[in-house]
Structure formats: C-alpha cells, structure tokens
Structure 1
C-alpha cells in the first residue's frame, strides 16, 4: 500500500510510516485459542456432516472480494469432488452485489453454507480445512492473519494489501485475482497435500506471533508518537 501511494503520488515516501510488518492494530492471539465447546456448537449448527472438507471465507460477500470467482471455482470443484463444503462467514452487501447467478448458487446449493453477519469470527476459522481470500483489492488482509492465527492454511490473490499478509509458498499460496483455474488448483493442493498444508499453517501461525501481535503494533505506534513529539520540541526550540 505504501508503494502504491508513492507511485500514484498521493503521498511522499518520507511522510508514510508502516508499523512493523503492517496491519492497523495487529491481533489479540488469545481470541484465537481453541474453544472446543464453541467449535463443537458451530459444527453442529453449520456442518453436521463431518465427512466433508471445508473451504472457508470470512468477510463481505461482494464482487470486490472475489465471491463470484470463489463460488464459480467451488461449483466446478464440487462436480469433481463430492466431499467438499464451502463456508461463507458473512453476508451480501447491496453496494457491491454479487451476480444473480452467484447469489442463486449460494442460496440453493446445499453444500454452500452462508452464516450471515457474525460479530466475532475467531472460532469459525476452526471449522475450515483451508481459508481463501480471493479479493481484487485490500487495504491489508487482516482475515488472512486471523486464519493463520487459528492454524489454518491460507490462499489469497496477488493484489495490493492481500499479498502483503503472506510470504508466498512459506505462509500461504498466491493466485492471480479472477483466475478460477489457479484458484481450484491451489485449493485442491492444500486439501490433498496434508504435509504442505501443515507447513504453511504452522509457518503462518509463527509469523503472526512474531510480527503481528497487537502489542508489537502498539509499540511501533508509541515509537512514532514519541519521535514526533521530539521533532516538535526541536522545531520549537529552533524557532525560539
């Protein structure tokens, strides 16, 4: 995002500060500890058939988030692999509505589950075998960090904001936005290759703990404020 702002001449490089590795507030990792009772309740409510592999998404169900692409990819995969479920944690948004076909598929396909708006999503990640954010643009992909914190392997698109939330092939997989074939391939790779999925999810969880805990972001913000205050005092002394 910083590079885009500079490239588009919306702000000068020296005026932009990135706190740590990014993220506006980091994550409270305590929220993503396993709550077995809550997870069991959610499974009973949304996924009573435990035999299926779950592809998960969290966020607004809009065109910009790539939901049309995700539903198209899942629909094609489901004709070849009958053990899949798509869990959409979120709701439609009138301002950027998905296509009528996508809405119809979501509402009528028994293997696509839409929860509607959820205020606290931490336990929902525990229902997923793989998480995907097929977005076309992001400020920063915080849901990617949340999935990683819940030890779920992630896939996202090679776009500003989303790609910054992973290290490609180390903490997640990247695909091009709108590329349904690549999306299908990445999803099946992580659903079938348990060793790779465990490697990515483990690395992702460690990276979140190392770089994206809220305390780390707060410390960086405190440092910025303190440096700014020192600069102000120096300017004041010079003007005197």
Structure 2
C-alpha cells in the first residue's frame, strides 16, 4: 500500500521548522519507501520551490481560505492524499483542521514546533481537537504546553539534525580573519537576534568572563531586529573591542567548529537545534535550563544548564513574550526569564580554564547527538508513525 502524505507549511525561509521539513524530504527522497510526499505551501520562496521541484515533489501554493478550498480539494483528490501533515499551524484551526476535513482529507496530523507558547486562541482549538487524528511535538516541554493550554495529548518525536557535510575546501580561519592570536579563546552565540534567543544575556555575561579570562573573544553569528540594540549595549559595557557581530553565516557549523564554547541563552525554545549542531561540532554548550533545551543538554555531561532568574524587557519590533514557559528543573510552568548571567559566566569560565573538561563534554555531546538526534532516526520515527496511523503493515 502506498501512503500519500501532504505537508502543509510556510516555506518562505529555510529556518527552524521549515528546515526540519526540507531536510526530512531530502532524506526521504533518497530512501526506498512506500510513502510519497507532497507539499501544500502557504507561502514559498523561489529557491525552496526549485528545491522541491528538483526532488520531484508535487507542490500546491495556497493560503487555504474558504474561497480557494476547491483548488486544495482537487489537488488532494488528484494525488489520493491519505494524510495531511500540518506543521506549526496550531493557531489557525480553520486552515489546519476545518477546511481540510470539509475537503475530505481522511487523516490529519498536527506537528507542534514551538507555536503553542504564544497561542492565545485556545478555546477554538479545544472545540476542534476532535478533527485531528494525531498530534506530534518535538519535546516533552512542548507536550506539557499542549496538554496544559489546549487539552492535546501529543507523541514526542525529537527533531533530527543532519550530519554536516565534510568541508571540501580549507575552512576559513576565524582567528586569522579577526586578527586574533592563536592563544585567544573564542566563545560564541549562534541564532536569530530576536528576543526568544536571549542574546542580551550573552552580551551581559561577557565582562565577567573577560575579568577571569582576559584573552577571550566573543562572536555573534546571526541577524535580526535586536542586532542594533545588542551592538549598542556592547559599547555601553565597554566590550565592543572583544565582540564580533558576524551577521548571518551560511557556514555557521564550520565556524562553530572553531569555537571553544557555545552559549544558548534562550528564554523560550521548543527544542534547541543549535545545541545539537554544537554537539555535532563537538563543542560544550552552556544553555538555559528551560523548555526543550533541558532535553538536548545533559547538565554536567554534555554541557551545563543554567537556571533562569533575570527579568526580560521586550524591545520594540521583537516577538511578543509568552505568558509561560516550562522550567527545565521542575517541569512546571513559570514566567519567562533570562538565564542567570553570573552563573552563565561561571560555567563559560570553567570550560575555558579546564580545556580537558570542555573536550570531554564536547565528545559526550557528539556521541549523544549521533545516537538520539540524527535525521535518520527522525525519518524512521516519522515514517513508522504514518504507518501506524494508516494501519499499514
């Protein structure tokens, strides 16, 4: 029996949930299986459309409102769709639940990648829960949020991260490019410069680290609406000579391999792909003890988790703050806070001053990432879930 799956997602950028879907589809194309994939793109960029086209995946582009339900219905009938797999559309039950059922889609899976934290229209979600045949989420923290906010019971399938390809040419030498000496340690932040990522905590810990380990440089890989304010704060703290804002970098992984420590100070994070990418680069991670990050980092074995105690001030033009997050220690809901910058700095200093410990943590992190967070494992888990749902043997 062939299983036809239609993935519904925003595909304007290759980032987060979108990247996870595209990585999965790429691997699925190279794997022999009875599962055939199709895409309903709510929005799509030209490069991603061309990428899907090169994989031979049929695509329909529609926002799926009542007035264009017939094009969706015709596409679903033409390709004999058995499962609609909806990615990160919890806030839009009309699009993700009601209209697909009216179009006759037999089975609906909703996949939570982080939207539930900022979801407020929970009553309509609860009223239409029965239209969904199954729910998936990418961490136990997301499972807790779905249960508490929406009365949804979900199956946890952790994200899968592809092993980075080997660099075919000599990698750029970061220290040489930045004019740093070979003995200078480098501590890095990787992520979008928007408030959930907590980059301000990274900036604020730097003076404490410099005091203990003066020959340390700090890099920020990523861009976003907070970049200007973060650069200003660095100047106010008098650290702008030791911090480098590199902007978005396509080769972030190869830069990460040249770091000594990676800091993940998010105050809300459904899973925490950066922590796994750092693990694949064999780097220790110092991270917030919150949400899914507390599941990607084992405190004292693959890195360190830091409790969140410091208040957050939302900046204009950034994402709204969630009312609650999942505390990594207690697994209870609490208000969002930044990680304690004093302890964040202490853990970074500890890794820099005991490099043999940093190597051990990085090796442990790599071994765990390959075993538990591989893209192959994710593909296998998801495919088996499709089979269970359709009773395919």
TM over 0.5, shorter chain: yes
The TM-score, its normalising length taken from structure 1, stands at: 0.83
Q: Which moved more, 1:146-155 or 1:165-174?
A: 165-174
Q: Which moved more, 1:144-153 or 1:98-107?
A: 98-107
* Aligned counterparts of 2:292 and 2:354: Cα–Cα separation in 1: 27
Deviations 1:74-96 (A, max 9, x none): 023223432111011112325x9
* Aligned counterparts of 1:211 and 1:154: Cα–Cα separation in 2: 17
- Which residue of the partner structure matches residue 161 of structure 2? 27
- Which residue of the partner structure matches residue 110 of structure 1? 241
Match of 1:210 among 371, 387, 390: 371
Contact 1:150/1:205, CA 8 A, preserved across alignment:
yes
Match of 2:362 among 191, 201, 204: 201
Of structures 1 and 2, the larger Rg is shown by: 2
- Which residue of the partner structure matches residue 388 of structure 2? 227
* Aligned counterparts of 1:106 and 1:88: Cα–Cα separation in 2: 16
The TM-score, its normalising length taken from structure 2, stands at: 0.52
Contact 1:52/1:83, CA 8 A, preserved across alignment:
yes
Q: Structure 1 or 2: larger helix share?
A: 1
Distance 1:163 1:97, change over 3 A: farther
Distance 1:138 1:106, change over 3 A: farther
Match of 1:145 among 276, 290, 293: 276
**Structure 1 unmatched runs, 5+:** 234-240
- Which residue of the partner structure matches residue 18 of structure 1? 156
* Aligned counterparts of 1:201 and 1:28: Cα–Cα separation in 2: 18
Residue 51 in 1 paired to residue 183 in 2? yes
Residues 1-240 of structure 1 correspond to what in structure 2 (within 5 A)? 1-6=142-147, 8-13=148-153, 16-19=154-157, 22-23=158-159, 26-31=160-165, 33=166, 37-40=170-173, 42-46=174-178, 48-93=180-225, 98=229, 101-102=232-233, 104=235, 109-177=240-308, 178-230=339-391
**Structure 2 unmatched runs, 5+:** 1-141, 309-338
* Aligned counterparts of 2:177 and 2:272: Cα–Cα separation in 1: 27
- Which residue of the partner structure matches residue 236 of structure 1? none
* Aligned counterparts of 2:208 and 2:257: Cα–Cα separation in 1: 25
Question: SS in structure 2 opposite 1:127?
Answer: coil
Contact 1:67/1:98, CA 8 A, preserved across alignment:
no
Deviations 1:82-122 (A, max 9, x none): 2111011112325x974674254599712101111113311
Q: How many residues align?
A: 222
Distance 1:135 1:97, change over 3 A: farther
Q: Structure 1 or 2: larger strand share?
A: 2
Question: SS in structure 2 opposite 1:87?
Answer: strand
Shift of 1:205: 0.2
Shift of 1:4: 2.3
